[in-house]
Chain A
């Protein structure tokens, strides 16, 4: 096996490199251990089929956005254009910033209440990254871009669906 530090070819199973004495034990089992781990590294977000989101302009009123969420049965809208996403407005934003003072904020532009500059990931990113990103950042939705242009949005539910398709005998989706 190849030493990552000096590229010396060591015999398989060596604990230290014969040439530079670096520790090689971490090379032993650094790969993914199961099919699922392999599949979330091999499969890109594009494979999940990111859903086309509803886009709104930054100056649309809060009231109109709430109506859009109600009528389209969706949990968030993206603010901006597909070339440049400036924000995201989700149910959580509605709870935190709109509920309790709807009358006052209804005519105001959504740009004042959205979450600005949301995290996004490239369509070629492995699913593992998105899972990590959503877990760490507590996001329910992630915009997916391709060459800087918006492709769609993936949700936590898409992740569960993908994982269940890998283990259909364990997680039955229907």
Chain B
């Protein structure tokens, strides 16, 4: 399948996404940050029971937490971004790419058909997807871009 076909036909669930890292909204920021570090992710989904209520990212850490006294002990619900944009498992991937470009976010929580958060789709994953479908082009690249054989190979 080439890239054009893939963009037209594939959905978010085809592209694949990691399971979400989540935390309940009444937990302290400190615990959310520890969990992000341990799981090596740039964003965490904030839940109320099983429902998605917000998102907290590395960016939010920079702008709302670091250097501001006492913020690590606040409830994460006070510093999260509430009602985030989402992607849906059956949504065409091209719609999601457009959304990334238009709105400028780096992560989208993925919801399934009954509104449960089932994953997080990142810009990085989207670029993986694009490069997967140009794989012949990429995998056949020499290790440096201007590498040309100067003599006949073999022996």
**A residues bordering B, Cβ < 8 Å?**
4-7, 30, 32-34, 36-37, 40-41, 63, 66-67, 69-70, 75, 91-92, 94-96, 98-100, 102, 106, 122, 124-126, 128-129, 131-132, 134-135, 138, 140, 156-157, 159-161, 163-164, 167, 170-174
Contacts and interface: CB of A to CB of B under 8 A. Distances in A.
A131 B130 contact: yes
A5 B151 CA distance: 10
A66 B42 CA distance: 17
A96 B145 contact: no
Contacts of A30: 140
B139 to A, nearest CB: 9
B145 A5 contact: no
Interface stretch (B45-53, B57-65, B83-91): B57-65
B78 interface: no
B8 interface: yes
Main secondary structure of the interface of B (DSSP, over half): helix
B128 interface: yes
Nearest to A26: B140
A151 to B, nearest CB: 15
A153 B124 CA distance: 16
Contacts of B126: 160
Chain A interface mostly: helix
B118 interface: no
In this complex, the interface size class of chain B, counting residues with CB under 8 Å from chain A, is: 35 or more
A4 B149 CA distance: 10
A160 B2 contact: no
Given A98-B66, A131-B131, A134-B124, 10 more contacts: A5-B153, A6-B152, A36-B134, A66-B62, A95-B33, A100-B30, A129-B145, A138-B124, A157-B104, A157-B123
Contacts of A36: 3-4, 134
Interface string B112-142: 0000000000011011101100101110110
Given A99-B66, A174-B102, A126 B94 contact: no
Nearest to B145: A125
Nearest to B139: A132
